[in-house]
Amino acid sequence: MSFSVVISAGNPRNLVTCVKAVMDCEPALDPKKIIVVHDGARAEAESMLPPEVTWLDAPLPFIFARNLNIGIRACTDDVVIMEDDGLLQTPSGLSLLSEHSAGYGMLASSTNYGCNQRQYRQLGGAVREEPGMVILVCVYIPRSTIDLVGLMDERFTGYGFDDDDYCLRIHKAGLKIGIDDSCFIDHLALPSFWRKRDVSADMESNRVIFEEKWRT
C-alpha cells in the first residue's frame, strides 16, 4: 500500500531525530512522502533533512488535531501519523503497519509510554485488537477510514481526548482498531512538550468537550 507520513513538529531537534529514524528504517520511502506540519521547527531543522521533505506551516497556538488535519489534507493515500517525540526502532516498521492494516480502521504501533498500557510491546509480534482507544504517537490510518470517519475534531484544542474521540468515531463506524507488536516506537528517548508542564487544565477542558459531544 502507498502511504504518507505526517509528523506534527514543534521541537526541531526532536524532528530531525524522528525523521532520520524513519528514513533509516524505511530506506525505500520517498522523502516527499514525509510531510512535516510545523509551527516554527523548519528554520532550524530544514538544513539537516533531505530537501525533498514536504513542509507545511501550522498557525499558532499549537493544536494537535489541527496540525494533523493540515497534513492529512495534503496527501491522497493512506496516512501514518507520528508525533515528533516518537522514535521508530523497527526496520521497515511502517511498512509492516501497512501490510498488517487490512481489516482495521486504524493500526497503532507498540510503544513504551502512554496512557493505554495495552500499547506496550508484547512478545510475538502479533496484531492485537484494541476495544478502546490508542494514543496517536504512531498510527496507520487507511484512506478508506478517513473517507468514512473524516478528519480529527479541532474543537479539542488542549491536551487529551482528541485521540479518544477519533478512536470512538472509528469504533462507531463499525471498524476495528489494532495494536501491532511488530512495529515499535520509543516514546521515552525524546523530550515531550506535554511532559514538561502541567496539562491538567487542558485535559479537563478537553474532557468537558468530549463528554458534551458524546453525552458520557
Instruction: Summarize pLDDT for 143-184 with one digit per residue, the tens.
Output: 999 999 999 999 999 888 999 999 999 999 999 999 999 999
Per-residue confidence (pLDDT) for residue 198, from 0 to 100:
63
* pTM, to two decimals: 0.95
Residue-wise pLDDT tens digits, 64-77:
999 999 999 999 99
Q: Which residue in 14, 152, 28 sits closest to 81, CA to CA?
A: 152
Q: Consecutive 10-residue runs of the chain (216 residues): their mean pLDDT?
A: 92 96 97 95 96 96 94 97 96 98 98 94 94 97 98 92 97 98 96 62 90 91
Contact criterion met (CB below 8 Å) for 85 and 21? no
Radius of gyration of the chain (CA): 16
Q: Which three cell numbers stand for residue 138?
A: 504512531
CA 84 to chain centroid, in Å, comes to: 9
Pairing of strands 54-57, 34-38: parallel
Nearest-angstrom CA–CA distance, 114 and 128: 17
Nearest-angstrom CA–CA distance, 70 and 6: 9
**Helix, strand, or coil (residue 65):** helix
Contact criterion met (CB below 8 Å) for 22 and 9? no
Contact criterion met (CB below 8 Å) for 152 and 187? no
Contact criterion met (CB below 8 Å) for 8 and 71? yes
Per-residue confidence (pLDDT) for residue 161, from 0 to 100:
94
**Helices 162-172/200-214 angle, 10° precision:** 20
